[in-house]
């Protein structure tokens, strides 16, 4: 396979996890790679807010993500 280590699980979260159509399609595609766990919810907004608070308070440094060299928009 393309992975150097064994994958424990693939977790589908957020609003998309409420869609049986989406989760079924993804599960069918990735289930040969690893166990799929579906955790519907909207917790990503809370996680984003908590991350912002950690950055503002100096507890964490903001990360800067750059497009790979040669990437075309």
pLDDT tens, residue by residue, 28-64: 999 999 999 998 887 778 888 999 999 999 999 999 9
CA distance 53 to 55: 5
CA distance 16 to 31: 17
pTM of the model: 0.57
With H, G, I as helix, E, B as strand and everything else as coil, classify residue 63: coil
pLDDT higher than threshold 80 for residue 2: no
Q: Give me the pLDDT at residue 29, please.
A: 95
With H, G, I as helix, E, B as strand and everything else as coil, classify residue 20: helix
Q: What is the mean pLDDT of residues 11-28?
A: 93
pLDDT higher than threshold 80 for residue 1: no
């Amino acid at each position: 396979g393309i992975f150097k280590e064994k994958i424990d699980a693939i977790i589908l979260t957020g609003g998309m996890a409420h869609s049986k159509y989406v989760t079924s399609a993804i599960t069918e595609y990735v289930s040969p790679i690893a166990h799929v766990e579906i955790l519907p919810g909207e917790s990503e907004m809370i996680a984003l807010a908590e991350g912002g608070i950690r950055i503002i308070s100096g507890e964490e440094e903001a990360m800067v993500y750059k497009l790979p060299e040669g990437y075309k928009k």
